[in-house]
Chains A and B, each alone.
Chain A
Amino acid sequence: MLSRLVFLAGSLKSSGPIGAGLVQASRSLQTSSQSLAPVPPLPEYGGKVRHGLIPEELFQLLYPKTGVTGPYMLGTGLLVYLLSKEIYIINHETIAAITIGTIIVYGVKKFGPSVAAFADKLNEDKMAKAQEAKDVAMSSLTQAIENEKKEQWRVEGRAMLFDAKRNNVAMLLETNYRERLHMVTNEVKRRLDYQIALQHLNRRMQQEHMINWVEKNVIGSITPQQEKESIAKCIADLKVLAKTTQAKAAA
Chain B
Amino acid sequence: MTLSLFNQFLSPSLMWTPLAAIALALPWALFPRQTARWVNNRLLSLQSWFLGQFTQQIFLPINNPGHKWALLLASLMLFLITLNTTGLLPYTFTPTTQLSMNMGFAIPLWLATVILGLWTQPTQALGHLLPEGTPTPLIPVLIIIETISLFIRPIALGVRLTANLTAGHLLIQLISSATSVLLSILPAVATFTITLLFLLTLLEVAVAMIQAYVFVLLLSLYLQENV
Contacts and interface: CB of A to CB of B under 8 A. Distances in A.
Interface stretch (A70-78, A79-87, A90-98): A90-98
Given A95-B197, A96-B172, A119-B49, 5 more contacts: A92-B173, A92-B179, A99-B198, A100-B90, A102-B198
A120 B90 contact: no
Contacts of B164: none
A155 interface: no
Interface residues of B, number: 29
B91 interface: yes
Interface in B36-65: 36-43, 45-46, 49
A123 B177 CA distance: 46
A90 B177 CA distance: 11
A229 B187 CA distance: 181
13 contacts: A39-B37, A42-B37, A91-B180, A92-B176, A92-B179, A93-B90, A94-B90, A94-B180, A95-B197, A96-B176, A97-B91, A103-B201, A126-B38
B176 A90 contact: no
Contacts of A120: 42
Contacts of B41: 42, 46
Nearest to B173: A92
Contacts of A127: 39
A103 B205 contact: yes
Interface SS of A by simple majority: helix
Contacts of B177: 91-92
B36 A36 contact: yes
Nearest to B190: A95
Most buried by A among B1, B36, B90, B201: B90
Contacts of A103: 198, 201-202, 205
Contacts of A123: 39-40, 45
B130 interface: no
Contacts of A90: 180
B46 A96 contact: no
B45 A122 contact: yes
